[in-house]
Structure 1
Amino acid sequence: MTDPSCGCADDQRTTLTRRGVLGRALAAGAAGAFAGLAGDQVSTQLAFAAGRYSGDTLVLVSLRGGFDGLSAVVPAGDPAYYAARPDIAVPKSRLIGGTSRFGLHPALAPLLPFWKAGTFGTVQAVGQPAPNRSHFSAMEELERAAPGTSVRTGWLDRMLGGLGASSPLHGVSVGSMMPARVLAGPAPALGMKTINDFALFGDQAGQPMAATLKTLYAGAPAVLSRPAGQVMGSLAATKALAAQPYRPANGAVYPDDTLGRALRDVARLIKGKAGLMAASVDSGDWDMHENLGAAVPGKRMHDKLAQLAAALAAFATDLGSTGMKRVTLVTISEFGRRVRQNGSNGLDHGYGNAMLLLGGGVAGGKVHGRWPGLGERHLVDGDLAVTTDYRAVIAEILHKRCGMASTRAVFPNVRSTTSGVVRAR
């Protein structure tokens, strides 16, 4: 069988170079999820950040499909909300937490203790600088976060570069074998489906791929040995974590779904002191054009919010108040939904949205942001207007919680918010 990547037949495999072997090992399996492992941009050591980096671990939860922030953080004090959604609005009597003008969807009940404790909060009327109702292009812009520039890297990559990340385990996307697009760029990063499944393709009894790789690259030129060292160090670290049975602390119970499993592994990396600076996880299926449903169990939006809340609450409970002092979790989505329900009792693609924030440094128990109102004259082509750039919210987190003196390289031409969504460390 001929390998299309180099044109080598089976009987020619002994002539492969070190570079070829590393490329094949990485491209073939979970360890192929490494990004930015080439040239002088990587370190020969794993030098975990735990001893140097003193900022928060930023956990990014991407709500893919277009999250309806008006269902999650309900503008109960705005009568236009109820007029626009006669069949799917959340009744005032069912709202929990919130403020005099807003209330939380009842499915977010698992997060209510954190709201009351001041570690869970929200930002309303937040989003991208300009409307974009295309899932693909809006998410691409969301993760690049540099409109009007030639920048093509992901903003999490730029964050890691600004913080001096030197190990793939400083930036991890969990739940996928490939690093998230938000991590695209020169900073070392990796993607893994789960900690327990993270391994080189083909590494098994009788076929010691990892050991062979280690021997092959011993004494190799630095341009080759550095990436190999990064790979082997990350494999060793995750293998050590996987060898220890993991039991969530404080009675935390993660839902057995994609998001729950991913956040469970993020907690393992944090508690295992792997040096994690940033983690990216996904939560999909938020594109509800039809049958969004009433705010009761068994309906689409209720059950999706309940799953989200259960996973976030389990994560915060597992880490405990001490662990969450050094963690800030934030949700983003490519766009919000239309204010007015459609003929299928669903919501089409919109603009303004809500972000959820969870962490020890979060100024919780409140809804941040300037509310523009839902009256017709305040809408943007039928959508909730954006009064706060999502990048400005994250920039405030990077500045106050992650220790970045300037965030201009991460978010070009954007100033961080000064509304106090988080407290300074």
Structure 2
Amino acid sequence: MTAPLLCCDENEKVQLTRRGLLGRGLTVGAGAALAGLAGETLSTSLAFAAGTYTGDTLVVVSMRGGFDGLSAFAPIGDADYFKARPGIAVPKAKVIAGDGGMFGLHPALAPLLPQWKAGKLAAVHAIGQPDPTRSHFAAMEAMENAAPGTSIRSGWLDRMLGLTGASGPLAAVSMGDAMPARLMSGPASDVSMRGLDEFTLTADGKRPMAAALRAMYADVPAVLAAPALAADRALAATATVKGTYAPANGAVYPDSDLGGALRDVARLIKAKSGLVTAAVDCGDWDMHQGLGPAVAGERMYDNLLDFSTALAAFVTDLGEAGMKNVTVLTISEFGRRVKENGSRGTDHGHGNAMMLLGGGIRGGRVYGDWPTLDPQALIAGDLKATTDYRSVIGEVLQKRCGLGALDTVFPKVKPSSFGLAAAR
């Protein structure tokens, strides 16, 4: 996925801030882990007690910038959709599948059509955050913290990891060129890396840097030594995974940031590295301009095609047996406004759609309580969010990841009862 273009000033600042951190911390190989010595990339305390995790590997793809769910899963059965978007609505004749009436899939999702037809890909529409905001900064922070109205400051993936008891060096990995730090910020041990083959300790081949690091922190209190020792363990754990990699089953990943990140997540899963959860960023969804109609060469089409091609390759690479114990879900800080603007784009909105994919997902349909796009049903011009995104994730955490009560992860949130995931 290319760098964001034609986006709002605030999102540009978000991208620059995150990439600035990346440049200082992650582009130096194992500096990804060592950055925890001075920031939030890695834990600042020891991991939870060791345990054997038997649930799904949860892969969270953050669709940053404000994903337009009204394009991806177009409400073609709602007449007000076409009235609000005369230039960019997906025509009924172009959707490639759907639920038989209200919703249709954008044609650029074609690489994932086999998963939809096989009942492994689903969507939930009209989801959102409990306290809507159109600020990228505020919405991203709230989305990753997922505990509004509390004093909790950790990320929800960190809290989820803590409940699993998993403490392996690669239990939680943030993979790729961006850094979703808040998702994994907190006491559980995690690691961020640009890519597996780039995850090295600079100059360790010429000087015994790793050994020096271990010696340096040998007698340091655990709370201070944890980030450096976690880095050392992660380096050792990835050593056997690195090298030439040939995706299985003829899978071909696109040459994009997302393609590379998902390829490396698949490598960790297939290597039985103990991966419990992976966070991957997928940006460039802030389309105030040039979202365009559903044809090749337009921003939404091309971005969705890269996304769906990368995810389809991931599924092919793992194969049916590998995907049996993997669940992929998407999140985004907010959706887009219902009405298109004068630049064939859409501005910041609220209600959105999220995707779920995996062997335990009951797919081939769009879940949710559709509020309609009738102007009287909108909230300040936005799609009303009728489902808290955390409740959808909560259903997955309980049924696929083996978690019990969710209060630790999502305070005061009950899991959804859609039945979108089969219990393990």
**Same fold, TM exceeding 0.5?**
yes
Aligned match of 2:32:
30
2:218 and 2:423 mapped to 1: Cα distance?
A: 45
Go from structure 1 to structure 2 and tell me whether the alpha carbon gap of 1:208 and 1:132 turns closer, same or farther (over 3 Å shift).
same
Local SS of the residue matching 2:396: helix
Aligned match of 1:187:
188
Go from structure 1 to structure 2 and tell me whether the alpha carbon gap of 1:272 and 1:256 turns closer, same or farther (over 3 Å shift).
same
Aligned match of 2:18:
none
Q: How many residues align?
A: 393
Matched, 1:124 2:125: yes
Aligned match of 2:376:
377
Aligned match of 1:15:
none
Go from structure 1 to structure 2 and tell me whether the alpha carbon gap of 1:261 and 1:424 turns closer, same or farther (over 3 Å shift).
same
1:83 and 1:350 mapped to 2: Cα distance?
A: 17
CA contact (8 A) 1:42 1:227 kept: no
1:5-404 aligned at under 5 Å gives the runs 29-34=31-36, 35=41, 37-41=43-47, 52-99=52-99, 100-176=101-177, 180-205=181-206, 207-217=207-217, 227-243=227-243, 245-404=244-403
Shift of 1:221: 6.1
Q: What RMSD, in angstroms, separates the aligned Cα atoms of the two structures?
A: 2.1
Go from structure 1 to structure 2 and tell me whether the alpha carbon gap of 1:221 and 1:338 turns closer, same or farther (over 3 Å shift).
closer
1:228 and 1:68 mapped to 2: Cα distance?
A: 40
CA contact (8 A) 2:117 2:364 kept: yes
Shift of 1:180: 2.3
Give the letter aligned to residue 117 of structure 1: A
CA contact (8 A) 1:179 1:190 kept: no
1:128 and 1:236 mapped to 2: Cα distance?
A: 39
Shift of 1:171: 0.8
2:361 and 2:213 mapped to 1: Cα distance?
A: 44
CA contact (8 A) 1:57 1:328 kept: yes
Local SS of the residue matching 1:250: helix
Deviations 1:42-78 (A, max 9, x none): 66xxx6x6xx211001100000000000000010100
Q: For structure 2, which runs of at least 5 residues remain unmatched after alignment?
A: 1-24
Q: Percent identity?
A: 59
Go from structure 1 to structure 2 and tell me whether the alpha carbon gap of 1:280 and 1:375 turns closer, same or farther (over 3 Å shift).
same
Shift of 1:107: 0.3
Aligned match of 2:14:
none
Shift of 1:204: 2.7
Give the letter aligned to residue 109 of structure 1: A
Aligned match of 1:18:
none
Go from structure 1 to structure 2 and tell me whether the alpha carbon gap of 1:87 and 1:39 turns closer, same or farther (over 3 Å shift).
closer
1:407 and 1:105 mapped to 2: Cα distance?
A: 34
2:231 and 2:343 mapped to 1: Cα distance?
A: 50
CA contact (8 A) 2:44 2:227 kept: yes
Q: Which one is further off, 265-274 or 27-36?
A: 27-36
1:415 and 1:246 mapped to 2: Cα distance?
A: 42
Aligned match of 1:4:
none
Give the letter aligned to residue 314 of structure 2: F
CA contact (8 A) 2:349 2:383 kept: yes
Aligned match of 1:411:
410
Give the letter aligned to residue 156 of structure 2: W
Local SS of the residue matching 1:240: coil
Q: TM-score, normalised by structure 2?
A: 0.88
1:308 and 1:115 mapped to 2: Cα distance?
A: 15
Give the letter aligned to residue 71 of structure 1: S
1:136 and 1:376 mapped to 2: Cα distance?
A: 28
